[in-house]
Amino acid sequence: MHDDGKRPKRIVVNDLMQQAFEYLLVESQGSGFDPRFSPELTPEEMLHLGVFGGKYLTDCRDEFPDSWYESARLCAERHVPDLNFFGVNSGLPLSEWRRRGWIHEEDPRGWFQWYCRYWMGRRLPDEDKWQIGRWQAMRRHAAQVRRHCLPGDDTCRPKQRQALLNWAYDSRLF
């Protein structure tokens, strides 16, 4: 049950990577986060800023709020690094994420898909703990940018800044 007494909402996913996949939303959107997890950007803000070369979640419009897509920087056809906020490619291909064991069945697109579903209210205790640990590990990149760049200098370490944006750290602020 939700904290407000409502029954959990069942989500059925039918996209290019999952067919008839179901999960429950047990928390209200954007709330009930683990106290160790305090992202600086919402999924909607991330999509509007430009992450993952614009290719992320382009076939998932039925799963997430319309507002996430209204001014999102997306390209359904291909990965376009220019759509990223910092205009650079900063990540590894999905095939490499799979090879390294970072992709789990529940979220075949990786961390950001987990975060979108977590933000919407899904909770999977073991998966959540693992993904939050991965998110926390990104702090070292934020520390490096803060240590080596002047505040507001977006030209300093753009790949690292973009990677931080991809993990919901607002690297525009440091």
Would 1 be classed as within a structural domain? no
pLDDT band at residue 62 using 50, 70 and 90 as cut-offs:
very high
| Total of domains in the chain | 1
Residue type, 74: L
What does the pLDDT read at residue 1?
A: 52
pLDDT in tens, 133-148: 999 999 999 999 999 9
* Helix spans in the chain (H): 43-49, 67-70, 94-99, 111-120, 125-137, 139-148, 158-166
Would 2 be classed as within a structural domain? no
End-to-end CA distance of the chain: 39
Structural domain span for residue 84 = 9-173
Residues of the chain with pLDDT > 70, as a percent, come to 97
Residue 5 pLDDT > 70: no
Residue 103 pLDDT > 90: no
Would 3 be classed as within a structural domain? no
Would 4 be classed as within a structural domain? no
Q: How far apart are CA 165 and CA 159, in angstroms?
A: 10
